[in-house]
Structure formats: structure tokens, C-alpha cells
Chains A and B, each alone.
Chain A
């Protein structure tokens, strides 16, 4: 025990001796939460658009102020010909151009309908889709006002028009904040990163510098070496977990609607999985760069891509969905969403908890085995 404590102490000294690393380790979670929470909004806001008004009549004059006042759009340019509009789209200065065709008002009067054209830049499909829909919505609202203007009234036969009013109820996230889905993802990412990358690097460094051989011939048991290596990072991860939770509750306003106790329990199980992954990496590689690349690329990228933290798993083809089942972070993120955001009781996350537990046990077992093999 005393031996263990001494070794444990040495590990902590190693970490604290390098203030830059520890600072970054503690700041990364905060930065991620802030960026994901505030900067990465998928909401449409202040999108730059251009207006090409060929008609200059009452109808277009009714619609344009609505575009100017909309929080979704910034009308940054008003163009006189199609070439200019093309140029704005081509250089990316505006995301969309709305064109009021010549004689809009008179077409409405004479033929019963005028033409408005919306051209969007489809480089970013989701944004362009949303921009196009919001623009259409603004024009359609204006249309209702136009119908009520005197000369058109007799045309509108709105009386026999059926309306179906949708009453949407946004479950779990009534304000539709993007941060609700990012917080569980960031938790999964950070915990996986800190634990697996740091543990593997710190073990591999001893290998690379040759001090591991010295340790292995010492009376220290290999198990103790591993434990002493991972406990400091366990502590760091717990601090990070606390930072993330505090920031998301008090800064982002993402509440913990479920049980905090079970949230912590499942996080600790997940941290064990991550530590075991780090041990596994360290037994596979022999240099620090390789360890970093391995945990950074081979483990982090799948976590970011396949865990459902950014991209919904439902959209993926079958093979990727199958691979996703083997990614611990996927189960953790689902469980955190259920416990923290949806506020469900622990009985809903039993499957996730069991799977994570099984993963933790088997990873620890495999990595201990692999580690011992290297001793002989």
C-alpha cells in the first residue's frame, strides 16, 4: 500500500510539474461546452441575402420590409440585374437571392397570381433548405395580407378553405436549444479523450524512455503500476465531469432533470471503460506519437462520428450502425440523454448501463492480460 501511495504521488507530481498540460486538460472541457453551446447553433440567424426587385410595386414593397425586419436574414444587397446576383452567390457573399418578377402586382390583379423566385446556395444542404423554407414562409405570410387588400378580396374564396392547425409540443427541450444535444456528446468525448489518451501516453512514455523496464524489475506489482497510472486521470476526469455539468447547468441553462446520482454512477462506469481503452492502447504501441495517434485517430474519430454526438445514428447505413453498437460512447451518450435531458428514471437506462459495465470488465481484463504478456 505504501509502495502504491509513493508511486501514486509520483504520478501526480508528473502531472502537476507540467502546468501547461494540466491547464489545457482542465480548460478543454470548458471551451468545448462554450463553443458547442453558443457558437455551434444550427439555428438560422442573420443569414446574408440579396433582394432583386424587378417589380417595384405595392406587393414587393409589402414583402421587402418583412425581410428586413426578420431576425433570420440580413438583407445585405439590393441588385439590379441577374449578373450581380450570380456574382454575390458565386463569391459566397450572400446565401440566397429573392427575386420579385416584373409586374408582380399587375400579374396578381390580372391573372390571379404573380411570381417570386428564390435562389439559394446549396453548398450547405441543411442551411440552404432551412433558408429557402423561411423565405417562403415570409412570402406566404405577406400573401395573406395581400389577399386582404381590397381589390383582391372578391377573388379569395377562403371561406370554404380547410385548416388543420398543428399543435407542436417540443418534448424535453421546449425552447429547442441546440446545446441540449451537444452537452451529452461533449461529456462522452471529453471523458474518453482525457482518460484514454492521457493514460496511454503516460504509460508509453515510461516505455519510450526505458524507465518501464526499471519499474517492471522492481518489486512493484504490474497491477499497482497500472492503478497508480490511472487513478490521477480518474481524478482529473471527475473534475472535468463536474466542470461540464456546472457549466451546462449554470451557463447554458441545460438542466439535469433526472437523477444526479445515477448520472454520476454511469459516468464513473464510462470513465472506467475509457481508462481501460487507454491501457489497451498502451500495450499495443511503443512510442508516444503512436499512442497519441492511435487514441486520437483510431478512438476519437469514431467517437465523434459514430456515437451519435453530432450525427444521428439512424441516418447511417446498416454497417455503420452495426459498428456504432461497439462504441462505448454511443451507449453513454444515449444514457446521459435519457437521464439528464429527458429526465427518465434509471429503469430506462438499464440496458445501456449493463452494456457499459460489460465493456468495462472485458476491456480491463483484456488490457491486463496484454500488459502482463509484455512483461514476460
Chain B
């Protein structure tokens, strides 16, 4: 019985001229495009210099700033007012104003001030830009000092798991999670609700097909499609970005299947409680939005306020993203994320039992 139902689902799926294309093309486009766009790297901040001193030391400073990978000197302005206009228009991120008598003060008194005006509309860019510039300035001061470096503590830093600080390595595992959620959580649920709305579900209800078989016949095609696409994504990420799981591929697929069961269960719960497609879509959209924002996708969960951390604690996506990043970047084994696995199992049990309890064949 199940076999025929699944066959029917695949036929319906393939017959739709729009859906199959979108389902296959969208993830591919996203994985090819997104890492290029989703880049929070702070680099190439555009700088305007207002050099009122025009001395050899000020020009050395300007050269040093230009040499940094974080900054690009775009222009030298006559006055602060002129530079400020460029900042207002969004053409320039930072203005550096070197005051008159800068060289004289440095030589005579050993210190002077440099005025920085930073566009801080984007807080992260603004504050990191200011931090990097301050470092360059103090570096420059050390270089210009006669005594040279006087530090008594040598700090050596080491970055584990992602030594080149590649932002793609951070984003690709998260992208895979998002696409998997969409394919295996959303689509089967929408499919069931649309049968409800069109009325064909009543025809199924009067047949001897058990509710369990019916639900499975809806889920299995999307599970199969989900895993095909997951594999395509893994291959693409490896071929295009040279990003592949450092950990075991088997663990990767095992974890993905647990997550798929969680999301399908959640989708079913929503579909059981909705009468129209529109309702189901918006309820899902509502929850997925919160889940994505509170999953630590872009910013660490630790930095969030306590109430947000509490919501994040009941967010299955968060645990799965943690697992994915651990497998992809750190090559962790299942023991390292045993708690996340237990929690995901809990979610799977919770949503699927809720789905079974709330599903009614008779109305």
C-alpha cells in the first residue's frame, strides 16, 4: 500500500512544472551564491584622510594604514567638512584627521592626538574598524619610538579549527541546516494541508489506508529528496569551496536523519492544526524565523540576553547547527556532542508523539 502511495506522491511532484525545478535549483544557487554574499568579514573599509600636517611622519602613517588589509585609502580631503559629506553619502566609512603640527608635537612632546570619525550605523563594522585603526596607530607609535618595543609579555595567538578565518567555513554548515529544514520540515506539511484544503484528504480518509501509512507516504518522498539534495550540497561545498566534514561522514548523515525526523514532526504538528495553506505557511514562517534568528547562525548564543538564551535552549535548530559545525570544522565525534544528540532525540519524540495524538482521520 505504502509503495503505491509513495509512487503517487512522486508522480504528483514530477508533474508540477515549477516545484521540482525550484527544489533542486534553489539549494544549488544558494550554496553557490550565499557564501559570497553572507560575508561579515571586516575588510576594505574605505578611508578618507584629512592631513593638515603634510609632514613626513603623517605621510608615513597614511602609507601604513593603506598597507593594512582592513583599510583602503580612497581619497585625501582638504577639510573635515568635505570628508564628512562623503561619509554622509555612504562613500566613505572612516575619516582620519591628522592635526596641524602633528610631527612637531610628536618630536617635541612625544605625543599627539588623531581624530577619527567612524560611520557606526553598522555597529559591528564601526567598532571593529575603530579597534583595528587604534591597533595600527599604537603599532606605528612603537615603530617610531627610539626605544622600540618595550613589552614584557609576548602574546602568541593561535586560532584552532579555522586558522585562515574563512567565513565560508562558518556559513556553509549552517546553510545546509537551513535548506534541510525547508525541504523536510516545510514541504511535506504544506503538501498535507493542501490535500486538506482541496478536499482530497477526505477521499483518503474513507479508504482503508491507515493514518500512519498516509503520513509516511507524505514524508518519505521528501526525506529521499532531502537526502539527495544534502549529498549534492556536501559535494558542491567540497568541490567549490574545499569545505568538507573533518569528522566522519557517517556521523554527519546519522545526525542529519535525526534532525530531519525532528523537523518533519514539527511540520506535521503544524499541518494538523491548520485548515488552510495560508495558515500553515504563516505559522511555519513565524516559528522558522524565530528559530533561525536564535540558532546562533550569525551571532553567538552566549552573547544574547538571558530570555533569548532561554528560548534558544528549546530551539532544535540551534543544537543541530552546533553539531554540524563541530563535525565540519572540528571533526568532533559523537561523544563530544552527546548532549545535543540526547536533546534532539527528545525533540523528535516530543513533536512526533504530538503529531500522532493530534492527527484525526475523522472530522
Contacts and interface: CB of A to CB of B under 8 A. Distances in A.
Contact of B117 (A155, A171, A294, A301): A171
A122 B140 contact: no
B322 A92 contact: yes
A177 B122 CA distance: 8
Interface in B10-47: 16, 18-19, 22, 26, 30, 33-34, 36-44, 46
Interface in B56-99: 61, 87-90
A115 interface: yes
B249 interface: no
B317 interface: no
Interface residues of B, number: 109
Interface string A155-195: 11110111111111111111011101100000000000000
Contacts, number: 341
A115 B154 contact: yes
B218 interface: no
B290 A164 contact: no
Contact of B153 (A28, A90, A113, A289): A113
Contact of B161 (A116, A122, A176): A122
Contact of A125 (B41, B152, B286): B41
B130 A162 contact: no
B278 to A, nearest CB: 6
Contacts of A113: 151-154
A292 B280 CA distance: 11
A227 interface: no
B80 to A, nearest CB: 10
Interface in B141-188: 141-142, 144-147, 150-163, 165-167, 169-170
Contact of B160 (A115, A120, A292): A120
A39 B305 contact: yes
A28 B283 CA distance: 10
A83 interface: no
Contacts of B274: 20
A276 B140 CA distance: 55
Contact of A173 (B121, B153, B336, B337): B121
Interface string B319-347: 00010011001101000110000000000
B322 A320 contact: no
Contacts of B294: 35, 39
Nearest to A127: B300
Contacts of A129: 128, 165
Nearest to A38: B305
A168 B279 contact: no
A312 B119 CA distance: 13
B3 interface: no
Listed from nearest, the 8 A-B pairs whose CB atoms lie closest are A122-B162, A39-B308, A122-B159, A173-B120, A170-B120, A125-B165, A42-B124, A163-B111
Given A38-B304, A90-B336, 17 more contacts: A21-B282, A42-B298, A44-B303, A45-B303, A91-B337, A128-B165, A160-B110, A161-B147, A162-B106, A164-B140, A170-B126, A173-B120, A174-B120, A176-B126, A178-B123, A310-B40, A312-B125
28 contacts: A24-B283, A24-B286, A32-B293, A46-B303, A47-B300, A47-B302, A91-B326, A113-B151, A113-B152, A113-B153, A117-B158, A119-B158, A120-B160, A130-B131, A147-B152, A161-B110, A162-B145, A165-B112, A167-B113, A168-B134, A173-B120, A176-B120, A290-B19, A296-B285, A311-B38, A311-B40, A320-B37, A342-B88
